[in-house]
Each structure stands twice: as structure tokens, then as C-alpha cells.
Amino acid sequence: MKRYFILGMLLLMVAGTLSAQDTLKVEPTPTTREVAKRLFNEAFELYTAHSGDVAIQLLNKSLEVDPTFHEPYLLKARIQYEKHDYPATERTLQTYLNSGGTRALDTVYFLFAKMYSETSKVPEEKEALNKCIALNGGYGEAYYTRGIVLFEQGDYEGALADMTNAVNNGYTVAAAYNDKGSCNRMLEKYNEAIIDYTDAIAVEPKAMYYCNRASIYAKMGRFDDAINDYTQAIVADNKYYKAYNGRGVAKANQEKYNEAIADFTLSLDVEPTYTSALSNRGIAYYKIREYDKAVADLDAAIALEPHNGNTYMYRGNVKEMMRDKQGALDDWKKASTLGIKIADRYFKDNCN
């Protein structure tokens, strides 16, 4: 009897242990939101590993599991935008808004704007940026992007205001300072433009930014400063042919024509079809009375860019010095038809 009692107790103990172990192994069933979040997190990891297509598949599954979980829409739209699938991007963002999504609406409208920019829908881009800024008055990159739109529309005051807001709201990339400087340049606020370009260079000593500041120095007649900046641009990028050309123009303004010709030639060594350098070298040859070389360069520039009236006018001036009166008249007349008013005067003064 005692033996059966002990055996019964052992069986109960074993049963109790198994029951406890079974209880420990059982996990609660995850909620649909938890499953959706897990799929979203996996998708995000794939996105950061540059596996966008697979990430989108997981994001779609996440939305199927829990349509009220809105984060997948935003990441999905971002991936589609980066893949340049703009119709899909627009559909995803619109679905997000239609589903009642309220999270990160400023980012949603900014992404709309970027998409419209890529598809040249300027009014839609501007409207989306206005909505973004209305939702978040501290969105620096949105101010910057709208500033570019306004600049391209010729609203330099409005563009300057937006570029200033961009910088003041923490969007302090070199491009923002550079484009702010370009606004001031168009408004002929040259001292302010120099400050802006200097700020851009401080963030990123890029050849283009040195050239932009150099162009302002040249406008102000500060040719030595301009030459120094063009030289710095060449140090930063010795293939930046516009810097050689700009330095040549500055030297030509100092009547250092042979040095200018050397710089124009360096520009053409990098970019043989750069018409500005061809035309400028032709004018420099004209200044030192090497007329045949001048005509050759101006001929080449016209062949590449046949609708530039200034080049015809300069070639007319050279031909006049070569005693080719009819050739000069023909070039001045052509320049006049292309809108060069002074060429029209040259033609009328010499046609008799």
C-alpha cells in the first residue's frame, strides 16, 4: 500500500513538472500591431542594406496585417522615390493621407514636393512646399527647396528670404550658403554675396564656390582677388575648366592678354567645345592684333553656338581691322538680328 502511495506521489510530481514546463514554453499570441511592427523593422533593415524591392514586399505584408499602422507607407514611398518610380510614390503617399495618416505630414508633403520637382510639376511642387512649411515652420530644407523654385522663377527677393530661413533653421549645408549668395548676386548685393560664398567655402571648399566668389570680385573690379579665387578653384579641381576661363577673363581685364590666352587654352584643353573660352581667346587675340587666330577661334565658337550675337559682333570687329568691310557688315547685321543693339549701330555707321 505504501509502495502504491509513493508511486502515485511521484506521478503527480512528474505531471506537475511537465505542466510547469509546458506553461513556460507557451508564449502569448502577438497582436496584429506587433506583427506589423516586426515586419516593418525587418523591412527597414533591408532598406538600409540596399534591398529595396524585398523591403517593399515586407512593407506590403505589414500593411496587410495592420492597415492602421501607418509607418510602412512612409518608408515605402521613400523607397519608391529613390527608385524614381514617381507614379507609385504619389499613389502611396495619397493612400497614406486617405487612410487618415497624421504622422510626419510635413515630411509627407516635402516628399510630394521632391517628387513633383523630378517630374517638372512646378506649381504642384510649390504648393506641397507651402503645406510642408505651414505644418512645420522650422523645416530648413523645405525653405531651401522653395527658395530654388522662386530663384528659377526670377523672384530673387523671395528666394533670398527662403534661403535665409533655411540657414536660420539649421539647414547649413554648403549649397544653401552658395545659393543664398547667388540670390544676393542677382540683387547686386555684392558684399553680402561674398559673405555667403565665404560661408559656403568654409563648409566645403568646392571649386564652384571659389569661382562664384571670384565672379563677384571681378564685378567689383577686384581682379587680383578674383584671380586668387580662380586659382584656388583650380587647386580644388584642376579639371574645372570654368575656373581657367574665369581667371583668363580677369587677366584680360588687367590687359595681361598673353596670360589670359594661356588660361583660355588651358580651359579648352579640358573642354575643347567650351564656347566661352573659344570666344574669349579670340577676343584676346584681337586685342594683341593676331587677327587670323582671332577669326579662327570666333569661327569655331560660332560653329558650336550659332545663335550667340556677341560672337558675330566681335568677329565683325576683327574683320573690320583686317579691312574686310563686307565681312564685318555681314557679321554686324547678323549680330543685330540676334538682339545685339550696338552691332546695329556699327552696321548703320559703316554700311555707306
Residue 328's pLDDT is what? 95
Closest listed residue to residue 89, CA positions, set 66, 67, 116: 116
CA-CA-CA-CA torsion for 296, 299, 305, 309, nearest 10 degrees?
A: 120
Residue 102's pLDDT is what? 87
The three three-digit cell numbers of residue 344, written as one number: 546695329
Q: Per-residue pLDDT averaged across 337-343, rounded?
A: 94
pLDDT digits (tens, 9 = 90+) for 4-63: 333 333 233 333 433 444 554 555 678 999 999 999 999 999 999 999 999 999 999 999
HSE-up (13 A, CA, CB side) for residue 140: 12
Residue 220's pLDDT is what? 97
CB atoms within 10 A of CB 324: 16
Q: Per-residue pLDDT averaged across 136-162, rounded?
A: 97
Determine the CATH number of domain 37-103.
1.25.40.10
Could you tell me the residue ranges of all domains in the chain? 37-103, 272-352
CB atoms within 10 A of CB 21: 9
- Report in angstroms the alpha-carbon separations of 56 from 140, 305, 328, 337: 29, 47, 66, 57
Taking only Cα atoms into account, the Rg of the chain, rounded to an integer number of angstroms, comes to: 34
The pTM is what? 0.83
Q: Does the pLDDT of residue 150 top 50, yes or no?
A: yes
Q: Per-residue pLDDT averaged across 139-148, rounded?
A: 97
How is domain 272-352 classified at the CATH fold level? 1.25.40
What is the dihedral sign for C-alpha 309, 313, 318, 319? positive
Residue 2's pLDDT is what? 40
> 343 exposed, middle or buried (CB, 10 Å; 0-12, 13-18, 19+)?
buried
Q: Which residue would you say has higher pLDDT here, 51 or 352? A: 51
pLDDT digits (tens, 9 = 90+) for 180-219: 999 999 999 999 999 999 999 999 999 999 999 999 999 9
Residue 11's pLDDT is what? 31
The three three-digit cell numbers of residue 254, written as one number: 588687367
Reported confidence tier of residue 103, pLDDT bands at 50, 70, 90:
confident
CB atoms within 10 A of CB 49: 10
Q: Do domains 37-103 and 272-352 have the same CATH topology?
A: yes
The three three-digit cell numbers of residue 306, written as one number: 550659332
Q: Which residue would you say has higher pLDDT here, 3 or 143? A: 143
Gap between the Cα atoms of 95 and 104, Å rounded: 15
Residue 100's pLDDT is what? 87
Reported confidence tier of residue 166, pLDDT bands at 50, 70, 90:
very high
Minimum mean pLDDT range among 101-115, 244-258, 290-304: 101-115
Helix 71-82 with 52-65: angle, nearest 10 deg: 160
Q: Does the pLDDT of residue 168 top 90, yes or no?
A: yes
> 339 exposed, middle or buried (CB, 10 Å; 0-12, 13-18, 19+)?
exposed
Is 286 in contact with 294 (CB distance < 8 Å)?
Answer: yes
Residues 6+ apart with CB under 8 A from 45: none
pLDDT digits (tens, 9 = 90+) for 246-271: 999 999 999 999 999 999 999 999 99
Gap between the Cα atoms of 12 and 25, Å rounded: 20
Q: Does the pLDDT of residue 151 top 80, yes or no?
A: yes
